[in-house]
Chains A and B, each alone.
Chain A
Amino acid sequence: EVHLVESGGGLVQPGGSLRLSCAASGFTFSSYEMNWVRQAPGEGLQWISYITTGGSSMYYADSVKGRFTISRDNAKNSLYLQMNSLRAEDTAVYYCARTRGSGWYDFDYWGQGTLVTVSS
């Protein structure tokens, strides 16, 4: 069974940094492109980042470009999101999500999410 488990969320001050992790199991992690999607409290879904299977290519939403970095370690079946220069508007639940297959950009499995709160 496919499982994605996020960790690393918490309370951080504006301008601070946080690193999120997503532990994957139940599938061949190295064969799937991965994403981070966030949801601010009471709001809709926002895709923020994507990474290819080998980690050679990454895409970002404009709202996080230059501040967030997606990466992966296929040997550890793990996905990461390094978040720097955090702002109040980055407060959200962050989900890792698997793309359904190569060349497909919809998301068939999601983690339970980890809450990031940016506040002084």
Chain B
Amino acid sequence: DIQMTQSPSSVSASVGDRVTITCRASQGISSWLAWYQQKPGKAPKLLIYAASSLQSGVPSRFSGSGSGTDFTLTISSLQPEDFATYYCQQANSYPFTFGGGTKVEIK
């Protein structure tokens, strides 16, 4: 199975800050990577697919990059509604594993 490792597990940031979350795959997955946002008590929401493609309706302050084993999710200017937990997911092969999550908290 492909293991997905996210870092950091949590980050404290202020509104307007630039936030970067990293995700590493245990083996190469080309660009088969997605990012999700989840708020408490809610279902996950797809933000980024194919490592860098923005899902329809997602604000442009979210961006993704990377290929192979190393990927990043960047929020260019953190907004109040962005405080949530973020997960990466490899979409290369089953089992379709998720990272452990990164909680973005208010500083």
Contact = CB atoms under 8 A, between A and B. Distances in A.
A113 to B, nearest CB: 6
Contacts of A108: 46, 49, 55
Given A105-B91, A108-B46, A47 B96 contact: yes
Interface of A: 35, 37, 44-47, 50, 59, 61-62, 95, 100, 104-108, 110-113
A47 B97 contact: yes
Nearest to B33: A106
Contacts of B99: 44
Interface string B29-41: 0001010101000
Contact of A104 (B1, B91, B100): B91
A113 B85 CA distance: 17
Interface residues of B, number: 24
A106 B98 contact: no
A47 B95 contact: yes
A85 B49 CA distance: 35
Contact of B101 (A44, A105, A113): A44
B89 interface: yes
B101 A61 contact: no
Contacts of A50: 94, 96
Contacts of A37: 44
A61 B94 CA distance: 8
Residue of A35, A44, A50, A111 with most chain B CB atoms under a 10 A cut-off: A44
Given A44-B87, A44-B98, A100-B49, A112 B32 contact: no
Contacts of B44: 37, 45, 95, 107, 110
Contacts of A104: 49, 91
Given A47-B96, A50-B96, A100-B49, A106 B43 contact: no
